[in-house]
């Protein structure tokens, strides 16, 4: 039996492990490789460790020139790839109509199933997005969105398939032993309050405001510590700002780490002061881990399937600090199993999501 051959592309690239690449990896790792032949594009700069993770789960990597640095070379290489491999489906992830480039190539090369997956509620290049919208709507055959708002943003009233960004509930569920072990490794005392944030260092994630919130929190609890997990173009600038604000000994920059699930056990509360988001994966992980969180009110309310998430506007750091003090009074052990069940009921179990996605492609590519 011939396998269904799929080419997956993330318009945000594979330079680091972030939301979209994590969703792709987690879903594809659960695909039946006797039924599917999965390929992923790595255009331009890429993370070797991330590519190795894809290969370890049976996904083939196709390295192409950078989309941003040399669009013409990228287009030529992608055309060559489609003609050689004769894909049954293109599965492209992004947040704007700029995906029309890949969709047009796939259509011209005879790829009949062209699936778009929306991951955000806005985009960085609004002029290009607006210009390409009329073409975009005529180039894809199927639409997927991680949430209702992300679907409304990209498809503008057109039908789409809702596929939630599930997580591995066994990996993130709260574990008291792991909490104690991780805090011991971090060298923190039992009475210290640990605030966490996970995200790439860029304008969207708004780590500058996170530092402002933490400054106000220290006035209420001088035993608090802030852990900023992730990397990105604004990492060095944010480190410098922390020093200027007198927070050098209170803020830890972990960089990109592979044990975020363990770090979540050690934290007491999480913050997400983003300027915009689709449906953030991290909020799902935090709820599975029975962690209270304070999130900016521009983030879609769809991400909250339990009462552990509090939404606040980005206008007052003092309000955020007050809320952190309020929500942190929680016995996580008592609600650990409840949070796992809530996650499954809400549709955020990655095993179930991967099964749905496989059925989707089997149906679209049959024959």
DSSP assigned state of 137: T
Distance, CA of 237 to CA of 207 (rounded, Å):
10
121 with 89, same domain? yes
**Sorting pLDDT into bands at 50, 70 and 90, what band is 75?**
very high
CA distances for 365 relative to 22, 105, 117, angstroms: 24, 18, 17
355 with 339, same domain? no
203 with 340, same domain? yes
208 with 312, same domain? yes
134 with 240, same domain? no
Instruction: Extract the tokens encoding 272.
Output: 């997400």
CA distances for 126 relative to 10, 106, 132, 275, 315, angstroms: 18, 23, 10, 16, 25
CATH number of the domain at 89, please: 3.40.50.2000
159 with 57, same domain? yes
289 with 357, same domain? no
How many distinct structural domains can be found in the chain?
A: 2
Tens digits of residue pLDDT in 286-343: 999 999 999 999 998 889 999 999 999 999 999 999 999 999 988 999 999 999 999 9
What residues pair up with 227 in beta bridges, in sequence order? 196, 252
Give residue 316's domain range: 169-345
185 with 87, same domain? no
- Give the whole-number percent of the chain exceeding pLDDT 90: 87
139 with 50, same domain? yes
174 with 320, same domain? yes
Contact predicate 211/201, CB 8 Å: no
140 with 216, same domain? no
Tens digits of residue pLDDT in 235-288: 999 999 999 999 999 999 999 898 999 999 999 999 999 998 767 889 999 999
Distance, CA of 170 to CA of 136 (rounded, Å):
39
């Amino acid at each position: 039996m011939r396998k269904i051959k799929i080419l997956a592309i993330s318009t945000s690239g594979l330079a680091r492990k972030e939301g979209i690449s994590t969703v792709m990896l987690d879903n594809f790792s659960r695909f039946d490789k006797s039924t599917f032949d999965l390929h992923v594009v790595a255009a331009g700069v890429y993370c070797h460790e991330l590519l190795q993770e894809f290969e370890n789960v049976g996904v083939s990597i196709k390295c192409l020139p950078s989309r941003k640095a040399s669009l013409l070379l990228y287009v030529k290489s992608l055309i060559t790839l489609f003609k050689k491999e004769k894909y049954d489906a293109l599965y492209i992830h992004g947040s704007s109509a700029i995906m029309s480039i890949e969709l047009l190539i796939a259509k011209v090369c005879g790829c009949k199933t062209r699936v778009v997956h929306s991951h955000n509620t806005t985009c960085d290049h609004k002029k290009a997005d607006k210009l390409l919208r009329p073409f975009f709507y005529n180039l894809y055959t199927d639409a997927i969105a991680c949430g209702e708002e992300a679907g409304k943003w990209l498809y503008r009233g057109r039908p789409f398939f809702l596929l939630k960004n599930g997580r591995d509930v066994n990996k993130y569920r709260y574990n008291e032993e792991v909490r104690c072990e991780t805090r011991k490794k971090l060298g923190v005392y039992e009475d210290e309050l640990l605030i966490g944030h996970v995200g790439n260092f860029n304008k969207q994630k708004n780590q500058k405001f996170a530092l402002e919130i933490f400054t106000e929190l220290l006035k209420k609890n001088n035993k608090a510590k802030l852990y900023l997990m992730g990397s990105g173009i604004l990492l060095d600038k944010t480190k410098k700002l922390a020093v200027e604000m007198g927070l050098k000994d209170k803020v830890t920059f972990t960089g990109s780490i592979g044990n975020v699930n363990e770090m979540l056990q050690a934290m007491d509360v999480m913050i997400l002061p983003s300027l915009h988001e689709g449906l953030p994966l991290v909020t799902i992980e935090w709820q599975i881990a029975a962690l209270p969180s304070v999130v900016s009110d521009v983030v879609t309310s769809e991400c909250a399937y339990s009462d552990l998430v509090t939404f606040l506007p980005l206008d007052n750091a003092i309000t955020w600090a007050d809320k952190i003090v309020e929500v942190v009074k929680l016995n996580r052990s008592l609600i650990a199993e409840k949070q796992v069940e809530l996650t499954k009921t809400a549709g955020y179990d990655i095993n179930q999501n991967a099964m749905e996605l496989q059925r989707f492609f089997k149906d679209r590519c049959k024959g």
